[in-house]
């Protein structure tokens, strides 16, 4: 089985421009491909994780990855999947975010001896002269076609700025530039990037008369059709200071029964033969599958030692041993205790166990909240600040999520 067939078997490929040519290239190690990462935060998240794993798989098969840090395109802002305009970031913030990305990518991709490249698109985008750019590539883009693209169409009702309208041209120019200067013949990205990617292949065809290729990765959705990688606290980050290795492990340990085998197939590097045997698993075996998923992904992102610690802490919690060393912890101050107490709804929101007080209220009313082994039945329940001293209190949400709150 070639790497292309493996990607298909793992359910990772959504769309391709020319399947036969792409199969031939990646199976024979002839692809020099890129994936772009705009620097909109100071850490990569689970949404980027699939892209990094794809780069790793293809590099292991002899292909050459280019990790393109979009420090130039971040100055514009990608409208794909957005209902409003992205916040404008300063160049200093973008530079800092790019450095954070670089450190995290090096855990996945081997950049030694020219086996992979890390490029920054500001190097060729910032020196561009606007009039020269328009004359060089402007005639290759049809406004009619651009407005039909999903990334723009969904924004037309609420308004699309001319700034964002230029994003497709910038991303297409990236591909055009790297095709000429780095031999980059293929672009990979999320399924929501398809229109932008076709813009690049078309620009290369019109300007250079040559073929370039594009392939999109399947979005990671749960059985209800929602994007995975989010919690009540927000995104699941790869930076251990933003999402601890234990929280990262617990996120995957708690995926739904209907999603665990799909996640193992798409995200881990376990052999397909081994995963195929798991397809018959049910009942308690699915809990074992969740442990395997959580351990393998935590090991990939944070290393074997942190994965072992997270697994031990998780098992201790499930066994009721109350290991608090690796438990996610929220530090509260005296300012959080009006009149010396805090109500349960505020506590749940402060700890990131509920996104809002409305959600917290539903959790309590459905009997899903326990504090120090005592079920909370009333939404009016309060806790005195003295309870949070020392080891603090242990909050349990549902059967699987544990959290500690302490007074500092």
Look at residue 324 and tell me if it is in a domain: no
Q: Is 376 in the same domain as 238?
A: no
Look at residue 379 and tell me if it is in a domain: yes
- The model scores a pTM over 0.75: yes
Q: Is 312 in the same domain as 368?
A: no
Q: Is 213 in the same domain as 243?
A: no
Q: Is 163 in the same domain as 101?
A: yes
pLDDT tens for residues 120-150?
A: 999 999 999 989 999 999 988 888 888 887 7
Look at residue 108 and tell me if it is in a domain: yes
Q: Which two tokens mark 16?
A: 């391709």
pLDDT tens for residues 185-237?
A: 999 998 888 888 999 999 999 999 999 999 999 988 887 777 787 666 678 89
Task: Say which CATH number the domain at 241 has.
Answer: 1.10.240.10
Confidence band of 82 (pLDDT split at 50, 70, 90): very low
The residue out of 183, 217, 251 marking a domain boundary is 217
Domain count, the chain: 3
Widest Cα–Cα separation across the chain? 73
Look at residue 323 and tell me if it is in a domain: no
Instruction: Tell me what pLDDT residue 326 has.
Output: 66
Look at residue 267 and tell me if it is in a domain: yes
pLDDT tens for residues 9-22?
A: 999 999 999 999 99
Q: Is 27 in the same domain as 170?
A: yes
Q: Is 209 in the same domain as 89?
A: yes
Query: Is 108:65 a contact under the CB 8 Å cutoff?
Result: no
Q: Which residues of 316-328 are buried (b: 16+ CB within 10 A; e: fewer)?
A: bbeeeeebbebbb
In SS3 terms, 38-71 reads as ECCCCCCEHHHHHHHHHHHHHHHCCCEEEEEEEC
Q: Is 195 in the same domain as 238?
A: no
Range of the domain at 368: 329-407
């Amino acid at each position: 089985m070639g790497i292309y067939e493996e990607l298909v078997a793992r359910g990772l490929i959504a769309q391709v421009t020319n399947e036969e040519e792409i199969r031939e290239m990646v199976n024979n190690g002839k692809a020099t491909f890129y994936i772009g990462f705009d620097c909109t935060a100071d850490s990569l998240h689970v949404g980027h994780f699939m892209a990094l794993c794809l780069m790793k798989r293809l590099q292991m098969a002899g292909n050459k990855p280019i990790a393109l840090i979009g420090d130039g395109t971040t100055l514009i802002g990608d409208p794909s999947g957005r209902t409003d305009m992205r916040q404008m970031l300063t160049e200093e913030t973008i530079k800092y975010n790019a450095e954070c990305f670089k450190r995290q990518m090096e855990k996945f991709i081997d950049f030694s001896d020219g086996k992979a490249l890390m490029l920054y698109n500001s190097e060729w985008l910032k020196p561009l002269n606007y009039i020269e750019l328009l004359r060089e590539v402007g005639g290759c883009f049809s406004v009619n076609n651009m407005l039909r693209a999903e990334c723009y169409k969904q924004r037309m009702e609420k308004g699309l700025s001319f700034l964002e309208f230029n994003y497709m041209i910038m991303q297409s120019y990236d591909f055009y530039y790297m095709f000429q200067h780095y031999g980059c013949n293929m672009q990979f990205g999320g399924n929501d990037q398809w229109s932008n990617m076709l813009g690049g292949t078309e620009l290369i065809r019109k300007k250079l008369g040559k073929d370039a290729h594009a392939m999109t990765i399947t979005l990671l959705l749960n059985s209800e059709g929602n994007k995975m990688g989010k919690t009540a606290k927000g995104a699941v980050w790869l930076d251990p200071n933003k999402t601890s290795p234990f929280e990262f492990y617990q996120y995957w340990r708690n995926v739904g029964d209907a999603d665990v085998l799909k996640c193992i197939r798409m995200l881990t590097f376990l052999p397909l033969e081994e995963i195929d045997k798991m397809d018959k698993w049910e009942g308690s075996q699915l809990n074992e599958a969740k442990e395997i998923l959580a351990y393998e992904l935590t090991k990939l992102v944070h290393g074997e030692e942190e994965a072992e610690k997270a697994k031990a802490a998780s098992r201790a919690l499930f066994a009721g041993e109350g290991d608090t060393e690796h438990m996610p912890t929220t530090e509260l101050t005296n300012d959080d205790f009006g009149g010396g107490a805090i109500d349960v709804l505020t506590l749940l929101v402060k700890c990131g166990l509920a996104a809002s007080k409305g959600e917290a209220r539903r959790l309590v009313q459905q009997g899903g909240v326990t504090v120090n082994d005592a079920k909370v039945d009333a939404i009016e329940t309060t806790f005195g600040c003295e309870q949070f001293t020392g080891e603090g209190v242990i909050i349990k949400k549902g059967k699987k999520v544990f959290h500690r709150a302490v007074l500092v």
